[in-house]
Amino acid sequence: MTSPALTATVDLAAIAHNVGVLRAVSGTDVMAVVKADAYGHGALPVARAVLAAGATELGVAHLTEAAALRAAGIDAPVTAWLHTPGADFAGAITDRIDIALSSIAQLEAVIAAARRIGQPAVVTAKVDTGLNRSGVAVDEWSDFAERVAKAHADGSVILRAAMCHLARGDEPEHPLNDAQAQRLDLAVADLVRLGAAPQVVHIANSPAALTRPDLARDLVRPGIAVYGRTPVPAQGDFGLIPAMTLTARIALVKKVAAGQGVSYSETWIAPRDTMVAVVAAGYADGVPRLLSGRIRVRIGDRMFDGVGRICMDQLVVDLGPDGAGVREGDEAELFGTGAAGGPTAKDWADAIGTIDYEIVSQVGTRVVRRYVGAGAVGVDSEDTAKPENAGTGQ
C-alpha cells in the first residue's frame, strides 16, 4: 500500500481531554462546535469523540452540515445557525435539527415549512446583542419575540433555546462581554413573559468558556478550544492539547549550487553549495503561500528553513551542505503540538498575521486524515460527514 504524501494526524484522545477541560473550567455542559468539517479535523470522528467525552450537543453553521451528521447516525441535539434564502427548513425539521433564527423572515419561513409538513420545528432565538453579524436585530426583536411566542403557543415551533455570540470574548475583561450577556438576559426575560421560556440559554464561546464561567448560563459553546488551540494566548494554553499534526513526505533530495535560485521568481538564491528537500505539500493543501521564506519544518529531530516560493503542491527546504542525512520518503512535520520546539499552527498564524483557527480549517482535501487515540479504532479519512452544497444552505 502506498503511503500518503500528506497526513493530518488527529488525536481523538486529545479532543476528549479538551472537552474535559472545558467542562471542568466552565462548570456546565458543552455544545461542541464541529462546523467546517470540525475545523478541518473531520466532523464525524470528532462528533463521536466529543459526545463520548461528555459533550451534550453539537453546533454547526449550515443545515447541510447538520443533516450530514444525522445521516451518519448522530442523534444528539445539533444546532445550525447560518441560513440563506431557500434553505431546506422542511428537511431540517424532519431531521430534528435545532434551527437558530436570525430574523422574522427566517422565522416565517420555518413556520410555513412546519405547517406544510405537519411537524413542529425546534428553534433557537439567535439574538444580536452587539456583534452586528447574524442574529435578530434590536429593531426587530420585539416583533420577533411576539411572533415566535405565538408560534410556540400554537405548536408550529418549539422554542428550545436562546443564544448570542460575543464580539470580544478573547478580551475577557472587556465591558462589551457583560453588556451582551445582559442584553441576552433581557431578551430571555421577554420570551418568558410571553410564555415561551427557552429551555437552554448559551453565550460563551471558547475564550469565555475558559475565562468567564460567570457567562456560562446553561452550557458553553466552544469551537477552537475543542481542538486544543488556546483562544486567549496571553493566558497560556489552559491545559489544552493540540489535536492535529500535519506532515508531508519528502519527494526529492537534490543539490543546488551556490548562486542558483530556487522556485518561482528565484526569491531565494543559494549562498553556498547546498542540498535541498522538496516537500510534497503546498498552498492547495493549506500551506499559505504567504509563508514563503518564513516556514520552518521538522525532519527527524532537526528544524530546517523553507526557501523560495511555496507552490501549489510543493515547498523546498534547505538541508545545508551535508544534507543532514535526510532521505527521499522521510517525513517532514509542518505543524503539530509544539513538543520539543516543533512547529505549530500558531507559529504559522503569527508569521502571516492571522489566527490558527484559519490555519487548521484550511488543511486541504488531498491531506489524508488519520485518527489516533481513544475512539479511533476503525476510523479513517473516509469516515467524515461531508455535506453537499455546504456553503449554500440548499
Report helix, strand and coil shares of the chain as percent, to nearest 5: 35, 25, 40
Grid coordinates representing 7? 497526513
264 is catalytic: yes
393: in domain: no
| 108 assigned to some structural domain | yes
Range 277-306 average pLDDT: 98
Per-residue pLDDT averaged across 190-207, rounded?
A: 98
Domain boundary pick from 160, 194, 227? 227
Q: Residue 380: what pLDDT? A: 57
Which candidate, 376, 186, 367, places its Cα nearest to that of 284?
Answer: 367
Q: How many domains does the chain have?
A: 2
Q: Which three three-digit cell numbers place residue 106?
A: 427566517
Distance CA 179, CA 79 (A): 24
The CA distance from 92 to 76, in Å, is 14
Across all residues in the chain, what is the average pLDDT?
Answer: 95
Give φ, ψ of 30 to 5 degrees: -125, 125
Contacts of residue 81, defined as CB under 8 A and 6 or more positions apart, other chains included, come to 59, 60, 61, 100, 102, 124, 126, 134, 163
Q: How confident is the model at residue 1 (pLDDT cuts 50, 70, 90)?
A: low
- The CA distance from 263 to 265, in Å, is 7
Residue 310 is part of a domain; what is its CATH number?
A: 2.40.37.10
pLDDT at 388 over 90: no
CB atoms within 10 A of CB 40: 26
Contact at 8 Å (CB) between 166 and 212?
no
Assess if residue 158 is contained within a domain: yes
Task: Single out the catalytic residue among 150, 254, 255, 264.
Answer: 264
Which is nearest to 49 in space by CA: 382, 386, 375?
375
Answer yes or no: are the C-beta atoms of 317 and 306 closer than 8 Å. Answer: yes
**One of 35, 126, 283, 371 is an active-site residue; which one?**
35
Are 199 and 268 in a shared domain? Answer: no
Identify the sign of the CA torsion 168, 169, 175, 178: positive
- Does residue 374 belong to any structural domain of this protein? no
Phi, psi of 144 (to 5 degrees): -60, -45
* Whether residue 146 is found in the same domain as residue 282: no
Residue 390: which pLDDT band, with cuts at 50, 70 and 90?
very low
Burial 48-85 (b: 16+ CB within 10 A, else e): bbbbebebbbbbbbbbbbbbbbbeeebebbbbbbbbee
Q: Render pLDDT for 135-148 as a digit per residue (tens, 0 to 9).
A: 999 999 999 999 99
Q: What's the distance, CA 318 to chain centroid?
A: 33
- pLDDT at residue 93 greater than cutoff 80: yes
Does 69 reside within a domain? Answer: yes
Examine the pLDDT at 394 and tell me if it is beyond 90.
no
Give domain status of residue 376, yes or no.
Answer: no
| 219 and 299 fall within a common domain | no
Residue range(s) defining the domain that contains residue 308: 244-363
CA dist 101 and 328 (Å) reads: 53
Whether residues 147 and 107 fall in one domain: yes
Shared domain for 177 and 309, answered yes or no, is no
Check whether residue 271 and residue 200 sit in a common domain. Answer: no
298 annotated to a ligand binding site: no
Reported as a single tens digit per residue, the pLDDT across 113-125 is 999 999 999 999 9
> Does the annotation place 133 within a ligand binding site?
yes
**pLDDT for the residue numbered 391:** 36
Residues 6+ apart with CB under 8 A from 70: 78, 95, 96, 97
* Structure-derived torsion over alpha carbons of residues 139, 143, 149, 155, reported in degrees to the nearest 10: -120
- Cα of first residue to Cα of last residue in the chain, in angstroms, is 39
| pLDDT score, position 374 | 72
Predicted confidence band of residue 379 (pLDDT cuts 50, 70, 90) = low
| 383: confidence class by pLDDT, cuts 50, 70, 90 | low
Q: What is the CATH number of the domain that holds 119?
A: 3.20.20.10
Shared domain check, 152 and 82: yes
Residues 154 and 263 occupy one common structural domain: no
Between helices 43-52 and 12-26, what is the axis angle to 10°?
50
Cell 518561482 -> residue:
264
What pLDDT, on the 0 to 100 scale, is given for residue 3? Answer: 86
CB hemisphere CA count around 394 (13 angstroms): 4
Is it the case that residue 23 has pLDDT exceeding 90?
A: yes
67-88 pLDDT per residue, tens:
999 999 999 999 999 999 999 9
> Given 162, 195, 227, which residue is the final one in a domain?
227
Beta bridge partners of 245: 9
State pLDDT tens for residues 199-246: 999 999 999 999 999 999 999 999 999 999 999 999 999 999 999 999
Q: Which residue has the cell 520546539?
A: 341
